[in-house]
């Protein structure tokens, strides 16, 4: 296919191929001939062969499609925007948030609320930090605007709960002290997923 | 003497009823597993080891469901229809010899409830009476989908019954008897004496008719859920629906036993395999074949079924009979 055909913007039916228009059987004899041909060609057995091979591959070659969900989970990409996390400083375990209030300001659905005060060292201290998950549209502006990489989007997508207020308080979002070594640095919005190499496939134009 | 025969028959009937009811349930499990593997899924796997107790869970669900009868339904007919399906499916089994004779505690057991000399005729006749179940269910449900399912039952019955009867005629001419035990003994000469080799066309025709008789996939018009919700069974729930189900699977076993007995050598010893095991293997393969086609083939329209049966299969069956007759004559 040449480049000119791609540049041609006159899209119409001129490139359509009418399938099976001319070889439709017309007389009863031709219908009968088609039936005989199809019966003796063993097309039905081709179908049987395909399903049998599917079963063989699924059973013996480990090509089962099923992911047994609560027991095993597919990895999600780092760009995924699920429930927020508040990251902590690795050394002290203190909250990274400096209470600048940028996320509260930029939030377009007005769901972030924070309480701050100036402590005895005249630094800003964050007392309370909540995200109203019923209002959040997961746009990601808060994570984008944060100068300290303190608020990021996490991978927690199982938000079934009795109340939507759960996960939304500071204690729920902040990395707990004992889990500090498990905290992963946020790779940023442009990051590729860890298994990106395996996911690469040919684009349709290549075949 | 008389009482011993009565007791023996009752015991046999109970055993057949129990075994095939259990097998019908187990076949649903096998069917779900095989279909799942063919679509690269796992199938039932959480309840019990390998999901085996899923059967029990489904059974409990069916038993405890409300037995629902629609307001405008013809009550007595609606209530009796599933019983017809289940009962005829098991009555048909009474003339089927399942295994060769064997000795139990010094007593020779013949695993057939009633050895009548018109076995094939009886089995086929009772099995087609069984289609009154879907027909009456469809007509009595006061539901359009059910009515359509009932109508499809009628055309299916009219279509395949001719083919299965005519297809069986040619092998019966060779054997000269309608008793299934005689047909089985006719093929006692080992692998090469199977009737499928001398009557391949009759075998194919009878298997096709068997698919139609058991409402399996290429011909599952009666309850095709993509077109008519659940067909004749739309208004049924709980135990009555379960009875339709058990009847259908019992029919499947009857047809598989019939095909093995008439065409595939029955329960004669095969090489080193004893006869009892041989027929089980044959029936297992046929059941697998029925499930296999369900995973592979699309189903056809009612008019295509009639067209296929009346215009293609019936002439072929008649030609087969003619050729068999001429070969036997000269």
pLDDT in tens, B189-241: 777 778 888 888 889 899 988 888 888 878 877 777 777 787 788 888 888 88
Three-class secondary structure of residue B1 per DSSP: coil
Whether A50 and chain B come into contact, CB under 8 Å, resolves to: yes
Judge: B38–A55 Cβ closer than 8 Å, yes or no.
Answer: yes
Total residue count of chain B as it appears in this document: 330
| pLDDT over threshold 70, residue A11 | no
Task: Burial-class residue B82 by CB neighbours within 10 Å (0-12, 13-18, 19+).
Answer: buried
The two structure tokens encoding residue B156: 């299916």
Whether B34 and chain A come into contact, CB under 8 Å, resolves to: yes
Give the residue from chain A lying closest to B292, CA to CA. Answer: A48
For domain A84-181, say whether CATH 3.30.70.3270 is its number. yes
Checking ipTM against 0.85, whether it exceeds it is no
Mean pLDDT over the full length of chain B: 85
**What interhelical angle do B275-296 and B238-262 show, nearest 10?**
120
Binned at pLDDT 50, 70 and 90, residue B319 comes out as very high
Judge: B40–A35 Cβ closer than 8 Å, yes or no.
Answer: no
CA-based nearest distance A65→chain B, Å: 6
| pLDDT over threshold 70, residue B46 | yes
The answer to whether A107 is a known ligand-binding residue is yes
Q: Which residues of B touch A59 (CB under 8 A)?
A: 37
pLDDT at B318: 92
Whether A35 and chain B come into contact, CB under 8 Å, resolves to: yes
Whether B310 and chain A come into contact, CB under 8 Å, resolves to: no
pLDDT in tens, B251-285: 889 889 889 888 887 787 777 777 778 888 888 99
Binned at pLDDT 50, 70 and 90, residue A9 comes out as low
Whether B315 and chain A come into contact, CB under 8 Å, resolves to: no
Nearest by CB: B295 against A51, A63, A66: A51
Least confidently predicted of A2-16, A21-35, A44-58, B229-243: A2-16
Domain ranges of chain A: 10-65, 84-181
pLDDT at B273: 75
| pLDDT over threshold 60, residue A123 | yes
d(CA B61, CA B235): 17
pLDDT at A6: 66
pLDDT at A207: 54
Q: Which of B127, B234, B240, B118 is nearest to B182 (CA)?
A: B118
What average pLDDT does this structure show over A69-89? 80
pLDDT at B219: 83
């Amino acid at each position: 296919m040449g480049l000119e055909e791609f540049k041609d913007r006159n899209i119409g039916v001129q490139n359509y191929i009418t399938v099976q228009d001319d070889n439709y059987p017309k007389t009863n004899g031709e219908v009968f001939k088609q039936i005989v041909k199809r019966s003796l060609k063993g097309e039905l057995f081709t179908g049987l062969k395909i399903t049998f091979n599917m079963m063989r591959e699924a059973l013996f070659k480990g090509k089962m499609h099923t992911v047994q969900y609560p027991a095993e989970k597919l990895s999600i990409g780092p760009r995924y925007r699920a429930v927020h996390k508040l990251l902590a400083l690795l050394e002290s375990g203190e909250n990274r948030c400096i209470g600048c209030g940028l996320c509260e300001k930029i939030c377009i659905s007005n769901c972030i609320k924070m309480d701050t005060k100036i402590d005895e060292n005249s630094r800003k201290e964050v007392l309370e930090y909540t995200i109203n998950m019923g209002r959040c549209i997961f746009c990601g502006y808060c994570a984008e605007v944060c100068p300290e990489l303190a608020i990021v989007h996490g991978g927690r997508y199982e938000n079934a709960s009795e109340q939507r207020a759960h996960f939304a308080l500071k204690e729920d979002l902040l990395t707990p002290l004992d889990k500090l070594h498990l905290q992963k640095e946020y790779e940023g919005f442009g990051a590729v997923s860890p298994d990106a190499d395996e996911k690469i496939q040919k684009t349709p134009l290549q075949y | 003497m008389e009482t011993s025969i009565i007791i023996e028959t009752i015991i046999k009937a109970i055993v057949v009823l129990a075994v095939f009811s259990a097998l019908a349930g187990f076949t649903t499990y096998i069917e779900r597993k095989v279909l799942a593997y063919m679509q690269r899924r796992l199938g039932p796997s959480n309840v019990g080891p390998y999901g085996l107790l899923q059967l029990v869970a489904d059974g409990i669900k069916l038993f405890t469901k409300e037995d629902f009868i629609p307001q405008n339904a013809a009550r007595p007919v609606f209530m009796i229809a599933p019983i017809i399906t289940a009962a005829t499916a098991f009555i048909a089994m009474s003339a089927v010899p399942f295994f060769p004779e064997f000795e139990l505690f010094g007593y020779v057991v013949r695993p057939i409830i009633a050895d009548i000399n018109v076995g094939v005729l009886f089995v086929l006749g009772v099995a087609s009476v069984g289609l009154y179940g879907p027909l009456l269910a469809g007509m009595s449900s006061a539901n359009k989908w059910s009515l359509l399912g009932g109508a499809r039952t009628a055309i299916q019955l009219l279509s395949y019954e001719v083919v299965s009867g005519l297809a069986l005629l040619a092998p019966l001419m060779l054997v000269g008897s309608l008793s299934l035990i005689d047909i089985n003994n006719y093929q006692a000469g080992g692998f090469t004496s199977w009737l499928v080799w001398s009557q391949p066309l009759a075998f194919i025709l009878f298997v096709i008719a068997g698919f139609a008789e058991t409402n399996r996939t290429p011909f599952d018009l009666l309850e095709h859920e993509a077109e008519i919700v659940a067909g004749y069974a739309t208004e049924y729930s709980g135990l009555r629906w379960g009875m339709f189900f058990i009847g259908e699977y019992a029919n499947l076993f009857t047809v598989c036993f019939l095909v093995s007995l008439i065409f595939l050598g029955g329960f004669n010893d095969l090489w080193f395999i004893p006869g009892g095991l041989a027929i089980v293997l044959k029936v297992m393969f046929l059941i697998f074949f029925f499930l296999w086609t369900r995973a592979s083939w699309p189903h056809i329209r009612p008019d295509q079924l009639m067209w296929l049966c009346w215009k293609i299969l019936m002439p072929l069956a008649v030609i087969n009979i003619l050729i068999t007759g001429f070969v036997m004559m000269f």
